[in-house]
Each structure stands twice: as structure tokens, then as C-alpha cells.
Amino acid sequence: MSSIRYKIAVLSRNRSLYSTKRLVEAIEQRGHEALVLDHLKCDIVIEQDRPSIIYQGKEVTDVHAVIPRIGSSVTFYGAAVVRQFEMMNVPTAVESQALVRSRDKLRSLQILARSNVGMPKTVFTNYSKEVAKIIESVGGTPLILKLLEGTQGYGVVLAPTKKAAESMIEAFHSMKARVIVQEFIEEAKGADIRAFVIGNKVVGAMKRQGREGEFRSNLHQGGIGKLIKLNRKEREAALTAAKAMNLSIAGVDLLQSERGPLVLEVNSSPGLQGIEKATGKDIALEVVKYMELMVEQSLRRRNGRRTIKSNA
């Protein structure tokens, strides 16, 4: 347990959510003060040399660290609140810029491709009429179609045949819906891996298996999570992906394929319920321990700057 008491803020719209409750419990277990702030109710005060945040009519002060739990639908304002804390020199579990990048699926895939991790073949176009060529580019059918704005398995469909794929792509394009077309990894058999990364370690991993007849493995879609021990390549892929996205805390989704682990997505606000249940580990406590290290590093930097100024 840390010998110094910190005030750690959790940015969450609902304090009764599992992940929020667990983080509050872990913060208090470590002897710190937990503060839950609804980021949509935070007023950002922009002033030269004195950035601040007002919450329920009072200025938020003496916060040592922030753990953002920002939903995808409110990324813009949530990231602005995180950025304000950064301007106030408060360390955050997820940097504002990394949060914004992680929510842009297309940009994320481009960043991951540059980092040299394995990925399913993916195509994105500006409503191209060359539908047959798109299908061919990902290796034919079956293939996966994903809405760029979809989360938790929503907006993800399987096109089993070329005719079905052509009809679906044309339908999405006619509605001006932004979609990516992705290779279907048959050998994954409706399962994927969620690796929970904190700092430079994978602190827990589970294999998520979709229910019978369902290709989506998301727990929100009825999937089941079970403990899995990652091999070296899977562990390296998860750490490389999180680092490429500049996320010190992340949920990295992987597929097991014949050509090695393939990264699907890197989640900047990974839920704790599924991973804690599957692994039996106190992941919330690991997050708080990491935040303690971030605060200590931040305080050392500030003290170092004060020393330099006093000697100038």
C-alpha cells in the first residue's frame, strides 16, 4: 500500500458501472481518495497560465491523477476534459490524443500497420463502385463488414458469399455509411483474445468465444470469456500494438491465425468485468498501482523543475 494519500479522479458518467465501482474500490483499498466525475458535467475554464475545471459549481483542485472511462459516443468532449487535466499537469491513465486516435478505427488501423504487427487484410474506400475488386482485395468471401462508428460488436456483419457481400457493400454505400471491409479468419472459429496491457506488461488475457452460430466473440453479444496463457508472439503483438497507439492502459483484441496473431483493435477504455471474471485477477488494483507510479514520476519531475529554477 502506498504510504502517501492521493486524490484520484475517475471520469465516468455512471458510478454504478462495474469498472467504475471496481476502480473506486481499488483506489480506496490502496489508501487513496476516490473522486468520480461525470466528464459531461465538467466545465472547462480556459485562461492564460491558469487552466481549471469546474464541477457542480466548484473548482476541481488537488487531483493527483485521472483515470478516464470515456464512452465512444462522447469522445470529443471527454477528450477535451482529459486534455484540460493534462494542461493542469495532472497525469492521466490515457492521454487525450491517444484516446482520440483509438476511437478513429481507420486511423488506428493505419498506425498499427506501420508498427509491423500482423493484421487481417482490410479495405476502406470512398464509396467506390469497384465492389468486386474490394472483395478480391481481402481474399474473397466470406468477409467481414464493419461500421467505422460501431462498438462492442454492433455494426459488424458477416458476408458469406460474393453476392451477399456485393449487396451489403452497395447498401452501406447507398446510405453513405462508412464501412471497412475485412478478411475473415476462418481458423479463429468465432473466437478472439483480449489482452489487458498496463505499462509494458500484459497483466491478464482471456479468450472470448462467440455463442454457437455467432461469429462475433464480444461479451456484449453473448460471448464467453475464459482464461488463456498467451504465447510469446501473442504477448509481443499486444504490447507492440498498445505502444504504437501510445496507450499505457489498453485492451488489445487479437485473432489466432495460421500466420500468427492478428491485431483487430486496441481499446482505450477496456472494461474490467469480463477480464476480471475470466482471469480471477484484480485488474483494477493493477491499474491503481500503475497510477501511483505515474503520480510519483510526475512529482519527481515537478520537484526537479523547482530545483532548477531555485538554482537559476
* 77 and 136 housed in the same domain: no
Examine the fold and report which residue of 145, 168, 184 is the final residue of a domain before the chain moves on: 184
Rounded Cα distance, 236 and 289, in Å: 23
* 44 and 110 housed in the same domain: no
Q: What dihedral do alpha carbons 32, 34, 35, 39 form, nearest 10°?
A: 120
Whether residue 126 lies inside any domain: the answer is yes
Instruction: Give the pLDDT of residue 125.
Output: 87
* 109 and 220 housed in the same domain: yes
Q: Which helix (H) or strand (E) holds 28?
A: helix 18-29
Each residue's pLDDT, cut to its tens digit, for the chain (312 residues) gives 556 799 999 999 999 999 999 999 999 999 999 999 999 999 999 999 999 999 999 999 999 999 999 999 999 999 999 999 999 999 999 999 999 999 998 999 999 999 989 999 999 988 888 999 999 999 999 999 988 876 655 788 999 999 999 999 999 999 998 889 999 999 988 899 999 999 999 999 999 987 665 556 555 555 788 999 999 999 999 999 999 999 999 999 999 999 999 999 999 999 999 999 999 999 999 999 999 999 999 998 877 765 545 544
Whether residue 278 lies inside any domain: the answer is no
Whether residue 275 lies inside any domain: the answer is no
* 193 and 227 housed in the same domain: yes
Rounded Cα distance, 58 and 226, in Å: 44
32: CATH: 3.40.50.20
* 27 and 74 housed in the same domain: yes
DSSP one-letter code for 202: E
Whether residue 2 lies inside any domain: the answer is no
* 80 and 202 housed in the same domain: no
* 50 and 86 housed in the same domain: yes
Q: What's the helix, strand, coil split of the chain in %, to 5?
A: 40, 25, 35
Whether residue 250 lies inside any domain: the answer is yes
* 35 and 55 housed in the same domain: yes
Q: Which domain holds residue 254?
A: 102-117+187-268
203, three cell numbers: 497483466
Instruction: Give the pLDDT of residue 152.
Output: 57
Per the DSSP assignment, residues forming a β-bridge with 35 are 9
204: CATH: 3.30.470.20
176: CATH: 3.30.1490.20
Domains contained in the chain, number: 3
Whether residue 213 lies inside any domain: the answer is yes
Whether residue 17 lies inside any domain: the answer is yes
* 36 and 139 housed in the same domain: no
Rounded Cα distance, 49 and 71, in Å: 30
Backbone angles phi, psi at 15, to 5 degrees: -70, -10
Examine the fold and report which residue of 184, 206, 227 is the final residue of a domain before the chain moves on: 184
* 107 and 237 housed in the same domain: yes
Instruction: Give the pLDDT of residue 306.
Output: 58
Helices (H), 195-251: 232-244
Could you tell me the CA-to-CA distances from 27 to 36, 42, 114, 161, 188 in Å, in that order?
11, 21, 37, 51, 37
CB 69 within 8 A of CB 269: yes
Examine the fold and report which residue of 134, 161, 184 is the final residue of a domain before the chain moves on: 184
Whether residue 276 lies inside any domain: the answer is no
* 204 and 113 housed in the same domain: yes
* 108 and 217 housed in the same domain: yes
Q: Which helix (H) or strand (E) holds 67?
A: strand 65-68
Could you tell me the CA-to-CA distances from 134 to 81, 120, 129, 255 in Å, in that order?
39, 14, 9, 22
